[in-house]
A and B are shown apart, each in its own frame.
Chain A
Amino acid sequence: MSAHAAEQDHRPAGWRRWLLSTNHKDIGTLYLVLSVTAGVVGAAISFLIRAELQQPGMQFLENQEQFYNVLVTAHGVIMVFFVVMPALIGGFGNWFVPLMIGAPDMAFPRLNNISFWLLAAALVLLVASANIDQGPGTGWTVYPPLSTSGHPGAGVDFAILALHLAGASSVLGAINFITTILNMRAPNLTMMRLPLFVWSMLLTSLLLVLAIPILAGALTMLLTDRNFGTTFFNPAGGGDPVFYQHLFWFFGHPEVYIMILPAFGIVSHVVATFSRKPIFGHKGMIYAMMAIAVIGFMVWAHHMFTVGMNVTGRVYFTAATLVIAVPTGVKIFSWIATLWGGSIQLRVPLLWALGFIFLFTVGGVTGVVLANGGLSVALHDSYYVVAHFHYVLSLGAVFAMFAGFYYWIGKMTGRPYPEGLGRLHFWLTFIGVNLTFFPMHFMGLAGMQRRVPDYPDAFAGWNQVASTGAWISVASVLVFLVVLWRIFSARERVAANPWGEGATTLEWTVPSPAPFHTFTHQPVIEASPAPHWLNDGA
Chain B
Amino acid sequence: MRIVGGGGGILLGVLAPGVVWAGQPLPWQIGLQPAASPVMEDVVALHGYVLIVIIGVACLVMGLLGFVIWRFNARRNPTPATWCHHTLLEIVWTVVPVLILTAIAVPSFRLLYRQDHIPPADLTLKVEGHQWYWSYAYPDLGISFDANMVETDQLQAGEPRLLTADAPVVVPVGQVVRVQLTADDVLHSWAVPALGVRTDTVPGRLNESWFQVKEPGLYYGFCAELCGVRHAYMPIVVRAVPEEAFKAWVQERKVAQNPSPQHGNPPLFEISALDPESDPSLMEDCHRVKGEKPFGPPEANDGCVYFPPPYVLPPAEAPRMMPGG
A277 and B189 in contact, given A307-B202, A377-B198 (Cβ under 8 angstroms) = no
CA–CA, A445 to B33, complex, Å?
Answer: 7
A337 at the interface (CB under 8 A from B): yes
| Docked-complex contact A460 and B199, CB < 8 angstroms | no
Partner of B104, one of A322, A332, A339, A455: A322
How far, in angstroms, from A339 to B116 measured CA to CA in the complex?
Answer: 46
Q: How far is the CA of A374 from the CA of B58 in the complex (A)?
A: 22
**Is A19 positioned at the interface, with any CB of B under 8 Å from its CB?**
no
B50 touches A368 (CB 8 A): yes
**Cβ-based interface call for B230 (8 A):** yes
CB-CB contacts below 8 Å: B96-155 with A? 97-98, 101, 104-105, 108-109, 111-116, 131, 152
| Chain B residues whose CB sits within 8 angstroms of the CB of A313 once the complex forms | 321-322
How many whole Å from B17's CB to the nearest CB in chain A? Answer: 13
| Residue contact B65 to A150, C-beta cutoff 8 Å | no
Per-position binary interface string of chain B over residues 77-106, scored 1 when its CB falls under 8 Å from any chain A CB and 0 otherwise: 111111111100110011001100100110
A266-286 Cβ-contact flags toward B at 8 Å (1 or 0): 000000000111111110100
Query: Is B271 located at the chain interface by the 8 A CB criterion?
Result: no
Say whether B54 faces chain A, with CB atoms less than 8 Å apart.
Answer: yes
Q: Mark A432-450, 1 if CB is under 8 A from B, else 0.
A: 0000000001100111111
Pair A377/B115 contact, Cβ less than 8 Å: yes
Among the 9-residue stretches A35-43, A236-244, A255-263, A473-481, the one with 4 or more Cβ atoms under 8 Å from chain B is A236-244
The stretch from A105-113, A135-143, A195-203 touching chain B is A135-143
B158 at the interface (CB under 8 A from A): no
A337→B80 CA distance, assembly (Å): 12
Q: Nearest Cβ distance between residue B204 and chain A, in whole angstroms?
A: 2
Is the Cβ of B322 less than 8 Å from the Cβ of A246? yes
Q: 1/0 per residue A58-90: CB within 8 Å of B? A: 000000011001000000000000000000000
Q: Which of A338-375 contact B (CB under 8 A)?
A: 338-346, 354, 357-358, 361-362, 365-366, 368-369, 372-375
A154 an interface residue at 8 Å Cβ cutoff? no
Identify the closest chain B residue to A150 (Cβ).
Answer: B186
* Pair A456/B47 contact, Cβ less than 8 Å: no
A306–B189 CB distance below 8 A = yes
- Looking at A56, A149, A343, A442, the one whose CB has the most chain B CB atoms below 10 A away is A343
Task: Indicate whether A312 sits within 8 Å of B227 (C-beta atoms), given known contacts A146-B187, A339-B72.
Answer: no
- Complex CA distance for A420 and B69, rounded to whole angstroms: 19
Structural contact, A344 and B69, CB atoms closer than 8 A: yes
Given A150-B185, A326-B98; A308-B207 close (CB under 8 Å)? yes
- Contact call B77/A457, Cβ cutoff below 8 A: no
Task: Report how many residues on chain B are interfacial, defined by Cβ distance under 8 Å.
Answer: 103
Minimum Cβ distance to chain B for residue A210 (Å): 20
In whole Å, how far is B62's beta carbon from the nearest beta carbon of chain A? 7
Contact between A452 and B115, CB atoms less than 8 A apart: no
Contact call B226/A69, Cβ cutoff below 8 A: yes
In the bound complex, CA of A455 to CA of B54 (Å): 29
A525 lies within 8 A of chain B by Cβ: no
Within 8 A of A (CB), among B217-257: 220, 222-232
- Knowing A326-B101, A456-B161, say if A309 contacts B33 (CB, 8 Å): no
* Contact in complex: B226, A138 (CB < 8 Å): yes
Q: Does A458 contact B (CB under 8 A)?
A: yes
A276 vs B55: C-alpha distance when bound (angstroms):
31
| Chain B residues with CB under 8 A of A495 | none
Chain A residues closer than 8 Å to B65, beta-carbon distance:
336, 339, 354, 357-358
Q: Which residues of B contact A33 (CB under 8 A)?
A: none
Residue contact A326 to B73, C-beta cutoff 8 Å: no
Residue of B nearest to A372 (CB): B108
B24 within 8 A of A: yes
Across-interface contacts of A446 in B (CB, < 8 A): 25-26, 29-33, 193
Q: In the complex, are the beta carbons of B229 and A65 less than 8 A apart?
A: yes
Query: Is A494 an interface residue when CB atoms closer than 8 A count as contact?
Result: no
Q: How many angstroms from the CA of A338 to the CA of B28 in the assembled complex?
A: 40
Whether A378 contacts B193 in the complex (CB less than 8 A), given A278-B84, A452-B231, A458-B24, comes out as yes
- Asked if B61 contacts A342 (CB within 8 A), the reply is no
With A366-B54, A369-B50, A456-B160: A150-B228 Cβ-Cβ less than 8 Å: yes
Q: Would you list which residues of chain B between 176 and 197 have a CB under 8 Å from chain A? A: 185-187, 189, 191, 193, 196-197
Inter-chain CA distance A538–B11, complex, in Å, is 76
Cβ of A193 within 8 Å of any chain B Cβ, yes or no, is no
B62 touches A461 (CB 8 A): no
Interface residues of A (CB under 8 A from B): 56-57, 65-66, 69, 137-139, 143-146, 149-150, 235-236, 238-243, 246, 275-282, 284, 306-315, 318-319, 322-323, 325-326, 329-330, 332-334, 336-346, 354, 357-358, 361-362, 365-366, 368-369, 372-378, 380-382, 441-442, 445-462, 502, 535-536
The 4 closest A-B CB pairs, nearest first, are: A235-B204, A535-B84, A341-B81, A374-B111
Q: Offer 25 A-B interface pairs, CB within 8 angstroms, sorted by A.
A: A235-B204, A236-B311, A241-B202, A241-B204, A246-B322, A282-B84, A309-B321, A310-B319, A318-B105, A326-B97, A341-B83, A344-B73, A361-B62, A365-B55, A365-B57, A374-B42, A374-B46, A375-B108, A377-B115, A453-B232, A455-B162, A457-B160, A461-B28, A462-B28, A536-B84
